[in-house]
Amino acid sequence: MMPVTVKKLLIACVAVTAMSSVPMYYGIQYHRMHAKLKGQEGKAVTIENEEDLLYEIGYVYDVEDVNDYENAEKTIYYLVKIPATNKIYVCTWDYGFTGFGRDDPVVLARHLDNNNDSGWDGYIIGLHDSLKGKKATVRVVDNDDLTEE
C-alpha cells in the first residue's frame, strides 16, 4: 500500500470540497428562486379597467420555464393561441396563478391602449374545471412581432 502524504490528502480534500460546493450553490439559488416565485404567486390579481380590455378565448399552446440561477429568478412564458385569429401570443408571467398547462382553455385579456415596444399589460384567466377563475398578470407580446426581427 502506498503511504498517504499530506500533499495528497490536501489535494483530495480540496477536490471533494470543490465538487460539493457547486451543487450546494445551485441548491441554495434554487430555493431562493422558488421562495420568490411563491411570494409572487400568492399575490392577488385584480383586473383593472375591465371595460378597456380585449377578451379573446384560446388555449395554452405551450409553457416554458427559464431558470436564472445566477440571479435566483425564474421566468415563466405562456404561449397562448387564439384559434379565431390563428395568432399566438407570448405571455411573460408577472404574478398570480402559475398552474396553467399545455392545452388548458383560457381567456387572454389585454389592455390595447398601453401597447409599446414591449407589448401589452394583460391577464390569463382559466375557463374550466379547477382552473375556472384562476388569474395571472402577464406581459403580452404578439409572436409575429418577435419573429419579424
How many residues in total does the chain contain? 149
pTM value is: 0.76
pLDDT at 140 over 50: yes
| Confidence band of 122 (pLDDT split at 50, 70, 90) | very high
Picking from 77, 86, 61, 84, the residue whose alpha carbon sits closest to that of residue 119 is: 77
Average pLDDT (86-112) is 93
Picking from 53, 56, 58, 59, the residue whose alpha carbon sits closest to that of residue 110 is: 53
Spatial CB neighbours of 61, under 8 Å, sequence gap ≥ 6: 79, 80, 81, 88, 102
Picking from 100, 7, 23, the residue whose alpha carbon sits closest to that of residue 108 is: 100
How far out from the chain centre does Cα 138 lie? 10
pLDDT at 119 over 60: yes
pLDDT in tens, 53-97: 899 999 999 999 998 878 878 899 999 999 999 999 999 999 999
What confidence score (pLDDT) does residue 49 get? 79
| Residue-number span of the structural domain to which 130 is assigned | 1-149
The top-scoring range by mean pLDDT among 43-52, 65-74, 104-113 is 104-113
- What domain count does the chain have? 1
| Confidence band of 114 (pLDDT split at 50, 70, 90) | low
pLDDT at 121 over 90: no
